[in-house]
């Protein structure tokens, strides 16, 4: 292009960006130096008249800046100043933050181009089409090639593409003007070339269709439309616009005066793309979330550079969803050079309604450079324009605080290469193709670090324990932690103890975590405000649940609704991130969300409504325990529950032990409900709930909270004057003390007290049951004769009372006592009698008990092979029945049998199986049996020191639980250790103690007697010496 002529309107242009970069003086192109100087001048000219920061310049010149970058920039500026010296009106000025070029606007071809394009628009608006076309053609004549041709880099590529868009828009306008001026035939060739370069531009396609149609080439015009439709469907997943479809119809009909191209929107843009960064600032104290950031980055990376990635971050209010999304966007910003856009959708915003998708599209389109007057009013047209403008671009879009999927869908671009980050309090499960991430509260360490970073280390570093307590009371919720830390930071007189005291109670927390513009409760209530009414009511009433978790049946009871309705409401609360689901079907509150629910409950539900809801819940929990446990209940735990409300029956009942699954899940709630009932005047529920649970509790050896549970039950029954409840609760406490070996004396006292109450109440059938329990206690304490007397005395009473179900049990118990007393023939007869008294066929578990007792009798009789046969049958049956306590006992007995038969490997295997089960069940007596069996197996292998350790552990445990027979057996084992270790006197002292500890009438005492009766200098031998290896004989 010739320059420098006096009448040349472009003579004043000194800098050319619309092509390769040039600086011109008096028609002569100036030498600027190397590529670095060219890039430096380009970035300064793109910001003509304004300062460009040194950091931006460095980032433009180098991907990995050298240490000397600042000095090199300074040197390059000096070179440019010398090169531009022939331009008197041009100056490069140094500021405190960077550099700027001062020059007249008309010195830059880009400015001249834009000025002429705007002049043409005004001329067109005045219907001066000829002059508009001439001016617009002169603007386009300034272009010598692609903008900034030959220059590259992340901060030049985007502006170059934007300038290319401006050029193309101008060409589209010129084509439209020439069509209106009647140049249809002349334009066909140019338009074919342009549509080939830009196949998705609807306005170019429309102009070509019109040019062809008006030139008599209707078929070719229709083919242009079909070609575009195929491109749009394949690349963007959209259809042509309604305007283009209308043009297609007109062309198809052969109608003259078809819609003009200037009335049609471009499929992508009508104005240049504006590259901008609209992200909020990254939070300086951003802490933790490394796992979440890693997952999101992995998701972006796994999708590849050409894939559309949609990451949906959900969670309750105050978790830091926006903070995380913005932080991630800043981390990834450099990978998306076409702009970073942020839209607050106001889905859950205090005092503001959610904005519509149409509003959001207008905001986003305008951020990308579309003037307000060019934003289509039709929602579908806005959506198409948004998608077309993003076609082929690498942009990053943050859609924050979404209300639901419907608000989001129109904002999702159809093109690849774009990253969309979405945050919402709701789980956007119906949004297709997302990479979901549900946020939880911060881990303790990250929560504490966040507190310290906000509050400052000076006053917090020396008290990490209190910091941890504070963040726990803040629920590890980032918003609450920030508020607490900021308030502490601003009050220099406070200690950490002062802060802690202000967070102790719910009411204190609600008041303290409110700073006016930031209020944790207000943030949480926003989610509540968007709930349907039935979900709002459930949210409030769920705060009454005494346990930390709950399921649909309890939620239904609180609300007086059906379980199906409750499940639907729970789903809504979960989707709005107001509930957590730690395991399928079981929900819980975050601590601060529960505070919010309680506050709303107290504000909106009367005391009467709350009490009615709790009555329904207590009834439901009692119904649950009663329905699942009553078929296995025995007196005095058989009763009719006091239930006012009606609930669906559990039919059919699942088999054991699966039947107790719901009670395991609701265990904490049941215990807490019983406590609540006792403390709030529901005295019948306070004893009936735990007593209904008795079969379940017994199957798990009661658990650590059973003593407190039944102590409260007993107190409630006594306060209510309910003798049945008193007897049942007293019996439960006695069984707990007996079976867990906690206090034999207490157990005996409680059982005798319960028997006395049954006598006073004239309930002899309960007295029989309790006497059997007392006999079992006597047996476990080694008081065999007393146990036998109790069992045998119960026989005629049980017959008289028609308690036929107790007769097999009594016969079995009498047999077990006779066996341990060495009355083996009598014992076997009792076991056979028990089998005959049981209903036919013998119940499987009872048969397994009899097999064990008979097998153990054969072992004591010195008949290990016969014992092995019976015990192996017992093991098969008890394992099939999942009767874990019995299985553990059988394993312990089999360990002894295999040791006496010399099969030490099997002895260890059975002994360890017994030990594992016993410890899991917390069955102290069986644990002692297993330890003693394993100690004898270790002696048999010569591992004397190990045996000593194991026997000592057994002795310690047995002594702590008052298990006299097991104490004696452990002492007997230690005597063998002394004997093998060469200390016969010590062994004899232990055997003497065995005779003292063992009940004198028990057959097991005979082994110790044999050793003590042996002649001086001889060791003697007992049944427990059998199976020892020759190395230790």
Average pLDDT estimate for 551-559? 94
pLDDT tens, position by position, 765-794: 888 988 998 998 888 777 888 999 999 999
Strands 98-102 and 52-53: antiparallel
Residue 13 has pLDDT above 70, yes or no: yes
Residue with tokens 């709790």: 614
Which range, 459-463, 614-618, 665-669, has the best average confidence (pLDDT)? 614-618
pLDDT tens, position by position, 35-72: 888 988 998 888 787 778 787 788 788 877 888 888 88
How far, in Å, CA of 380 to CA of 911, rounded? 75
What is the percent of the chain where pLDDT is above 90?
A: 28
Which is higher by pLDDT, 564 or 261? 564
Average pLDDT, the chain: 84
Residue 848 has pLDDT above 50, yes or no: yes
CATH of segment(s) 519-605: 1.10.10.10
| Predicted confidence band of residue 270 (pLDDT cuts 50, 70, 90) | very low
Q: If you classify domain 290-438 with CATH, what class do you get? A: alpha beta
Residue 352 has pLDDT above 60, yes or no: yes
**Please, what is the Cα angle at 588 between 587 and 592, to 5 degrees?**
150
Among 293-307, 532-546, 598-612, name the one with the lowest average pLDDT. 293-307
Task: Report residue 175 as tokens.
Answer: 């084509």
* CB atoms near residue 959 (< 10 Å): 16
Residue 935 has pLDDT above 50, yes or no: yes
Average pLDDT estimate for 619-625? 95
pLDDT at 309 (0 to 100): 66
CB-based burial, 728-740: b 16+ in 10 Å, e otherwise: bbbbbbbbbbbbb
Contact 715, 732 (CB under 8 A): no
pLDDT at 1017 (0 to 100): 52
CATH of 843-1032, one of 1.25.40.10, 2.40.50.140, 1.10.1740.10, 3.90.1640.10: 1.25.40.10
- Residue 400 has phi, psi (to 5 degrees) of -100, 145
* CB atoms near residue 835 (< 10 Å): 18
How far, in Å, CA of 458 to CA of 446, rounded? 18
Task: Report residue 848 as tokens.
Answer: 């397994």
DSSP for 832-894, written as a single string? HHHHHHSPSSPPHHHHHHHHHHHHHHHHHTT-HHHHHHHHHHHHHHHHHHT-HHHHHHHHHHH
| Predicted confidence band of residue 18 (pLDDT cuts 50, 70, 90) | very high
* CB atoms near residue 664 (< 10 Å): 11
pLDDT at 613 (0 to 100): 96
DSSP code of residue 31: P
Helix axes 154-180, 129-140, angle to 10 degrees: 150
| Predicted confidence band of residue 30 (pLDDT cuts 50, 70, 90) | confident
3-state helix, strand, coil in the chain (%, to 5): 65, 5, 30
Residue 1020 has pLDDT above 70, yes or no: no
DSSP code of residue 443: P
Query: Is CATH 3.40.50.11540 what the domain over 1-179 is classified as, yes or no?
Result: no
DSSP for 162-228, written as a single string? HHHHHHHHHHHHHHHHHHHTT-HHHHHHHHHHHHHH-TT-HHHHHHHHHHHHHTT-HHHHHHHHHHH
DSSP code of residue 423: E
DSSP for 721-763, written as a single string? T-HHHHHHHHHHHHHHHHHTTS-HHHHHHHHHHHHHHHHHTT-
How far, in Å, CA of 342 to CA of 650, rounded? 53
pLDDT at 154 (0 to 100): 63
Task: Report residue 742 as tokens.
Answer: 């906690």
Average pLDDT estimate for 889-897? 95
Among 370-384, 762-776, 817-831, 913-927, name the one with the lowest average pLDDT. 370-384
Residue 817 has pLDDT above 50, yes or no: yes
pTM score of the predicted model: 0.58
CB-based burial, 320-331: b 16+ in 10 Å, e otherwise: bbbbbbbbbbbe
Which range, 329-333, 711-715, 981-985, has the best average confidence (pLDDT)? 711-715
| Predicted confidence band of residue 308 (pLDDT cuts 50, 70, 90) | low
Residue 257 has pLDDT above 70, yes or no: no
pLDDT tens, position by position, 421-441: 999 888 887 776 677 888 888
Among 2-11, 142-151, 807-816, 934-943, name the one with the lowest average pLDDT. 2-11
Query: Given this chain, do its domains 290-438 and 843-1032 carry the same CATH topology?
Result: no
pLDDT tens, position by position, 310-351: 778 888 888 888 888 898 988 888 888 888 999 998 887 766
| Predicted confidence band of residue 302 (pLDDT cuts 50, 70, 90) | low
pLDDT tens, position by position, 131-167: 888 999 999 999 999 998 888 776 687 778 778 888 8
Domain boundaries, the chain: 1-179, 290-438, 444-518, 519-605, 843-1032
How far, in Å, CA of 689 to CA of 670, rounded? 7
Average pLDDT estimate for 825-835? 92
pLDDT at 923 (0 to 100): 85
How far, in Å, CA of 768 to CA of 778, rounded? 15
Residue with tokens 């989001």: 408
């Amino acid at each position: 292009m010739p320059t420098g002529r006096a009448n040349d309107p472009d003579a004043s242009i000194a800098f050319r960006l619309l092509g390769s970069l040039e600086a011109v003086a008096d028609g002569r192109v100036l030498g600027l130096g190397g590529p670095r100087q060219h890039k430096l001048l380009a970035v300064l000219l793109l910001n003509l008249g304004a300062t460009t920061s040194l950091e931006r310049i460095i980032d433009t010149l180098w991907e990995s800046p050298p240490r000397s970058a600042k000095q090199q920039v300074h040197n390059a500026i000096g070179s440019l100043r010398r090169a531009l010296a022939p331009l008197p009106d041009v100056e490069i000025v140094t500021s405190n933050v960077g550099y700027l070029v001062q020059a007249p606007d008309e010195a830059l071809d880009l400015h001249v181009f834009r000025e002429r394009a705007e002049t043409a628009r005004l001329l067109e608006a005045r219907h001066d089409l000829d002059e508009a076309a001439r001016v617009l053609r002169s603007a386009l004549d300034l272009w010598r090639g692609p903008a900034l041709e030959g220059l590259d880099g992340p901060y030049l590529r985007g502006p170059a593409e934007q300038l290319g868009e401006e050029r193309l828009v101008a060409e589209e306008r010129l084509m439209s003007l020439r069509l209106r001026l009647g140049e249809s035939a002349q334009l066909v060739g140019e338009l074919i070339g342009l549509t080939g370069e830009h196949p998705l531009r609807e306005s170019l396609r429309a102009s070509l269709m019109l040019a062809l149609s008006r030139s008599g080439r209707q078929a070719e015009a229709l083919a242009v439309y079909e070609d575009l439709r195929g491109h749009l469907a394949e690349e963007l997943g959209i259809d042509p616009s309604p305007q283009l479809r209308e043009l297609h119809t007109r062309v198809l009909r052969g109608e003259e005066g078809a819609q003009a191209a200037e009335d049609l929107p471009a499929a992508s843009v009508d104005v240049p793309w504006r590259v901008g960064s609209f992200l909020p600032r990254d939070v300086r104290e951003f802490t933790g979330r490394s796992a979440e950031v890693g997952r999101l980055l992995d998701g972006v990376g796994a999708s590849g550079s050409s894939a559309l990635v949609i990451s949906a971050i959900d969670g309750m209010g105050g978790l830091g969803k926006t903070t995380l999304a913005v932080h991630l966007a800043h981390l990834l910003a450099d990978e998306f050079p076409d702009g970073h856009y942020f839209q607050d959708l106001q889905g859950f915003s205090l005092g503001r309604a959610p904005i519509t998708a149409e509003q959001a599209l207008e905001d986003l389109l305008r951020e990308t450079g579309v003037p307000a007057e060019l934003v289509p009013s039709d929602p579908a047209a806005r959506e198409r324009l948004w998608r077309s403008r993003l076609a082929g671009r690498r942009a990053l879009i943050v859609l924050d605080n979404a209300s639901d999927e419907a608000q989001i869908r129109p904002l999702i671009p159809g093109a690849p290469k774009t990253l969309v980050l979405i945050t919402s309090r709701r789980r956007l499960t119906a949004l297709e193709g997302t990479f979901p991430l549900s946020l939880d509260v911060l881990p303790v360490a990250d929560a504490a670090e966040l507190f310290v970073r906000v509050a400052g280390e000076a006053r917090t570093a020396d008290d990490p324990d209190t910091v941890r307590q504070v963040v726990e009371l803040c629920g590890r919720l980032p918003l609450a932690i920030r508020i607490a830390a900021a308030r502490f930071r601003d009050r220099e007189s406070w200690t950490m103890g002062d802060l802690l005291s202000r967070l102790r109670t719910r009411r204190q927390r609600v008041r303290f975590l409110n700073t006016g513009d930031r209020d944790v409760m207000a943030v949480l209530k926003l989610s509540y405000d968007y709930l349907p009414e039935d979900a709002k009511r459930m949210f409030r009433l769920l705060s009454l649940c005494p346990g930390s978790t709950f399921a649909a049946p309890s939620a239904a009871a609180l609300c007086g609704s059906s379980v199906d309705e409750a499940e639907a409401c729970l789903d809504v609360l979960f989707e709005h991130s107001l509930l957590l689901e730690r395991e399928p079907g079981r929900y819980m509150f975050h601590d601060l969300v529960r505070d919010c629910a309680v506050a709303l409950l107290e504000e909106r539900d009367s005391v009467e409504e709350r009490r009615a809801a709790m009555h329904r819940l207590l009834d439901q929990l009692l119904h649950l325990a009663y329905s699942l446990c009553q078929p296995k209940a025995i007196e005095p735990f058989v009763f009719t529950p006091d239930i006012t409300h009606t609930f669906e029956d559990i039919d059919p009942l699942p088999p054991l032990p699966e039947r107790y699954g719901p009670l395991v899940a609701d265990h904490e709630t049941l215990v807490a409900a019983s406590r609540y009932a006792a403390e709030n005047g529901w005295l019948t529920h306070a004893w009936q709930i735990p007593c209904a649970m008795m079969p379940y509790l017994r199957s798990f050896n009661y658990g650590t909270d059973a003593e407190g549970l039944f102590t409260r039950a007993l107190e409630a029954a006594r306060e209510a004057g309910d003798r049945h409840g008193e007897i049942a609760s007293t019996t439960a406490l006695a069984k707990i003390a007996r079976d867990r070996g906690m206090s034999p004396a207490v157990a005996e006292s409680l059982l005798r007290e319960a028997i006395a109450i049954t006598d006073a109440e004239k309930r002899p059938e309960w007295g029989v049951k309790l006497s059997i329990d007392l006999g079992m206690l006597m047996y476990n304490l080694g008081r065999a004769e007393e146990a036998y007397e109790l069992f045998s005395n119960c026989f005629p009473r049980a017959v008289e009372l028609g308690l036929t179900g107790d007769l097999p049990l009594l016969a079995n118990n009498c047999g077990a006592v006779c066996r341990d007393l060495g009355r083996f023939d009598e014992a076997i007869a009792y076991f056979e009698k028990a089998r005959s008294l049981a209903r036919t066929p013998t119940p499987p578990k009872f048969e397994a008990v009899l097999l064990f007792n008979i097998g153990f009798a054969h072992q004591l009789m010195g008949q290990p092979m016969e014992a092995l046969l019976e015990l192996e049958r017992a093991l098969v049956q008890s394992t099939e029945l999942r009767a874990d306590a019995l299985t553990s006992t059988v394993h312990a007995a089999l360990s002894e049998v295999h040791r006496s038969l010399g099969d030490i490997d099997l002895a260890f295997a059975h002994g360890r199986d017994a030990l594992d089960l016993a410890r899991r069940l917390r069955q102290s007596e069986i644990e002692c049996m297993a330890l003693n069996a394993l100690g004898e197996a270790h002696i048999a292998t010569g591992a004397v020191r190990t045996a000593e350790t194991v026997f000592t552990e057994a002795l310690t445990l047995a002594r702590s639980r008052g298990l006299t027979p097991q104490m004696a057996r452990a002492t007997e084992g230690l005597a063998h250790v002394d004997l093998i270790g060469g200390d016969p006197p010590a062994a004899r002292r232990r055997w003497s103690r065995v005779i003292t500890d063992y009940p004198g009438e028990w057959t097991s005492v005979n082994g110790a007697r044999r050793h003590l009766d042996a002649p001086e200098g001889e060791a003697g031998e007992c049944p427990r010496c059998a199976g020892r290896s020759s190395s230790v004989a």
